Amino acid sequence: MSVLSELKIGESGVLMALDLPESVQNHLMHMGFVPDALVTAVRRAPAGDPTVYLIDGMEIALRHETAEAIRVRAPEVESAHIVPQDEEAQELTEAVR
Amino acid sequence: MSACCTPPPFTPPTAPPPAGALKTVVLIGPPNSGKSTLFNRLTGLRQKVANYPGVTVEQRMGLMAGVGREDLTLIDLPGIYSLSPYSEDARVSIDVLRGAMPGTPKPDAVLLVMDSLHLKRQLMLAAPVLALGLPTLVLLNMSDLMESRGGHIDPLKLARELGAPVALISAVRGTGLDAVPLFLHQQTNREAAKPLALPVVGNAASAHSWAAQVSKNTGYRAPLSVEGTRKIDNILLHRIWGPLLFLVVVVGVFEVVFSIGQPLSDGFGDVLARIGGLARPLLPAGWIQSLILDGAWKGVSSVLVFLPQILLLFLFIGILEDSGYLSRAALIADRVMRTIGLNGKAFIPLLSAYACAIPAIMATRTIENKRDRFATILVTPFMTCSARLPVYMLLIAAFIPNIVYLHGFLGLRTIVMLSLYLAGFVGAMTTAWLLKSSILKSSETPFILELPQYRMPTVRSLALRLMDRARVFLRQAGTVILCVTLALWVLAHVPVVHTPGGTISAPELADSAIGRLGHFIEPAIAPLGFNWKIGIGLISSVLAREVMVSTMGTLYGADPETQSMHLQTALHHDMTLGGALALMIFFAFAMQCTSTMAVVRRETNSWKWPAVQFLYMLALAWGAALVVNHVVMAIFG
């Protein structure tokens, strides 16, 4: 178990929980940050922060302080590294389980 | 309509629309769903922009002339992700949908637009909207892009899942829109919609699993993430090239506004002056002519001249925004902006403020956090806008000797000019930092930035954007500025003087109401090195900074354009170097612009903020001018 900000570029994680105030949690959840969603770190901004994450086919940038409060676990499948369609990856994850 | 191919372009129906109980339709959709483009398509150019009462959310309304239904009003709701009342935008949307917004009619039907490229996430808004029970048409936008990129959706299955009609459209290309009048026509004699099992409003997790289930049941296949965007970002967000290109863009905005915009504005100013000249013989000589031409027309045109520059700036920003680059710029600027307590989204408004604070303040609407937005609005007038330039140029030419250093590469005049720019920038940054660490402190809303895919901006949406901004600007010039100009003219012409011949005439400037006002404030400005004439200039330049130059011109009996040598010499007799430098620093910090104050009031919906801003900037300007005057006097004696 780790937090989102620890993901290296190209790495993916499965979202577990958001340790954030409820209003922020709600906002992020409506942008796709829900439990069991697959998140991939795509790139860092030139200054090293914020980081761009791929979730639900959308690229969303979060600052380190926000990503730090989002708990993730490692996905069980290796193929989850570059994932254009997270839905497929999720199904695959479930199938393997 | 078939699901396999893109529908044909829309042709408005020729038959007259049927009369019905239908009057008001609302358009709702998540951000980046192409909602604004669709709104423009459906309403054509007949739109009305205002603020909802008591909040800073923009209300856009228009008649649905674009689909031949001029009898229907379309209300464009703000782009939102959910109906949970976490933001002001969402609260306004809920109130409008429930008919609880004062002054806005209860909607009879809903158009729900969603980006079909990201349907799974966008569907989360569908559940709470459909749960309201209003007749709803679901529009899947950018269907052409989805299909060309290998995506798929079965609209009939989706319609069955949602219990609402679904149409595939492309707002950019205007295809599939005939579904809208068809739907509206059917609503004239509709039956009550059957209730559906929809997730509870505001529960993000259940809304998400519902949306995932629906998109699965309808055979939705998201298009492959576009490699093009990824490749462009590899360059534009590159560790080295990214910031460099970012700088090129920033300098480019400057260059365009100054090198192309300035001659355009000058030319437009000449045209406006010529119109005034042509009208002069048509008006009876005397006070009416003076009031209309020297008062109203001169004042209004002194502000209108900035229109070309403002439109150019908006064109530039519009291209950046529509293409998707603006989000990347915000991402790059975030690291710097956070050191003063703001975030990357505040960068673009501050950049635009170098041209004019008015469009810059309007551009702060992209900042979701209200406190961040207010802080940005409050510091924007510190940035050196183009209206300060005429004043700086006059004073520098009059008081700063033309000495060059480094073999002609750097002149003393350039150094003074750059220092004034720097002073404004430092003023803005310090004030932002002060605000963000005191009254506007916030940690609640984090920086969450969506990076949309790159697209080609369309001429149509850029043109509509420019027209919208021109309209706002012209309305401002036609109301607030006109009133202040007339008031200033009257103050310069009363009390009237009775001549021995029995006629009446305007008083000497020193005896006029405004002249007396100048004498009245003289004790307050004397320590800064200003006399009563400068005082009149300061009072009249509350209208707009550049008015200072024309006022000084009138006061010293010289035309600022043709006889600037005279004006410069005249200023020399009245002012020391200390006073002149103090006057420049005063202009760098003071809030002398009624249009900006009016826009701040409009955007913050209260007179409190412009009042605080005016007094704070005045105090800062006064203090800085006092220090500069005394330091310069001590050095140069």
Give a three-class secondary structure readout of B55-93. CCCEEEEEEEHHHCEEEEEEEECCCCCCCCCCCHHHHHH
Q: If you search the block for the tokens 């500025």, which residue do you land on?
A: B481
Contact B334 A45 (CB under 8 A): yes
Query: pLDDT digits over B307-354, tens only?
Result: 887 788 778 878 888 888 988 988 998 888 888 888 888 887 888 787
B15 touches A: beta carbon within 8 Å: no
For residue B597, being part of any structural domain is answered with yes
Residue B367 region by backbone torsions, left for phi larger than 0, else alpha for psi between -120 and 50, else beta: beta
Task: Provide the pLDDT for residue B401.
Answer: 85
By CB neighbour count within 10 A (0-12 exposed, 13-18 middle, 19+ buried), where does B83 fall? buried
For residue B447, being part of any structural domain is answered with no
Highest averaged pLDDT of the listed ranges B4-18, B215-229, B399-413, B584-598: B584-598
Task: Provide the pLDDT for residue B347.
Answer: 84
| Residues of A with Cβ-Cβ distance to B244 under 8 angstroms | none
CATH number at residue A17: 2.30.30.90
A16 touches B: beta carbon within 8 Å: no
Query: pLDDT digits over B242-271, tens only?
Result: 999 988 887 787 677 667 877 888 899 889
Query: pLDDT digits over B330-342, tens only?
Result: 899 888 888 888 8
For residue B442, being part of any structural domain is answered with no
A67 touches B: beta carbon within 8 Å: no
State the nearest Cα–Cα gap between A31 and chain B, in angstroms.
Answer: 7
Q: Which of B178, B199, B225 is the C-terminal boundary of a domain? A: B225
**Claim to verify: residue B209 and residue B260 sit in the same structural domain:** no
**Claim to verify: residue B32 and residue B117 sit in the same structural domain:** yes
By C-alpha distance, the chain A residue nearest B82 is A30
**Claim to verify: residue B245 and residue B191 sit in the same structural domain:** no
pLDDT level of residue B13 (50, 70, 90 thresholds): very low
For residue B299, being part of any structural domain is answered with no
**Claim to verify: residue B275 and residue B360 sit in the same structural domain:** yes
Contact A35 B447 (CB under 8 A): no
State the nearest Cα–Cα gap between A6 and chain B, in angstroms.
Answer: 18
Task: Provide the pLDDT for residue B357.
Answer: 87
B611 touches A: beta carbon within 8 Å: no
Q: Which domain holds residue B344?
A: 231-282+307-386
**Claim to verify: residue B411 and residue B368 sit in the same structural domain:** no
Contact A46 B121 (CB under 8 A): no
How many domains, chain B? 3
Helix axes B547-555, B388-399, angle to 10 degrees: 50
**Claim to verify: residue B252 and residue B220 sit in the same structural domain:** no
Task: Provide the pLDDT for residue B349.
Answer: 85
**Claim to verify: residue B240 and residue B215 sit in the same structural domain:** no
Q: Which domain holds residue A16?
A: 2-96
- Rounded distance between C-alpha atoms, residue B88 and residue B608, angstroms: 20
How many domains, chain A? 1
Average pLDDT, chain B: 80
Q: Which of B359, B386, B413 is the C-terminal boundary of a domain? A: B386
| Residues counted in chain B | 637
Contact A32 B242 (CB under 8 A): no
| Complex ipTM value | 0.78
Phi–psi pair at B327, nearest 5 degrees: -65, -35
**Claim to verify: residue B274 and residue B361 sit in the same structural domain:** yes
Task: List C-alpha distances in Å: B354 to B341, B347, B348, B380.
Answer: 21, 12, 11, 9
State the nearest Cα–Cα gap between A94 and chain B, in angstroms.
Answer: 15
Name the residue among B81, B212, B233 with its Cβ closest to that of A31.
B81
Task: Provide the pLDDT for residue B2.
Answer: 39
For residue B430, being part of any structural domain is answered with no
Q: Which of B225, B241, B270 is the C-terminal boundary of a domain? A: B225
A10 touches B: beta carbon within 8 Å: no
Query: pLDDT digits over A72-83, tens only?
Result: 998 876 544 444
**Claim to verify: residue B397 and residue B501 sit in the same structural domain:** yes
Contact B81 A30 (CB under 8 A): yes
For residue B555, being part of any structural domain is answered with yes
Joined together, the tokens standing for residue B9 give 């372009």
Contact A45 B335 (CB under 8 A): yes
Contact B450 A28 (CB under 8 A): no
State the nearest Cα–Cα gap between A67 and chain B, in angstroms.
Answer: 10
Instruction: Please report which helix (H) or strand (E) contains residue B141, including its range.
Output: strand B136-141
**Claim to verify: residue B313 and residue B182 sit in the same structural domain:** no
A9 touches B: beta carbon within 8 Å: no
For residue B621, being part of any structural domain is answered with yes
Q: Give percent above pLDDT 90 in chain B.
A: 16
Count CA atoms within 13 Å of residue B517 on its CB side.
Answer: 15
Highest averaged pLDDT of the listed ranges B70-84, B136-150, B236-250: B236-250
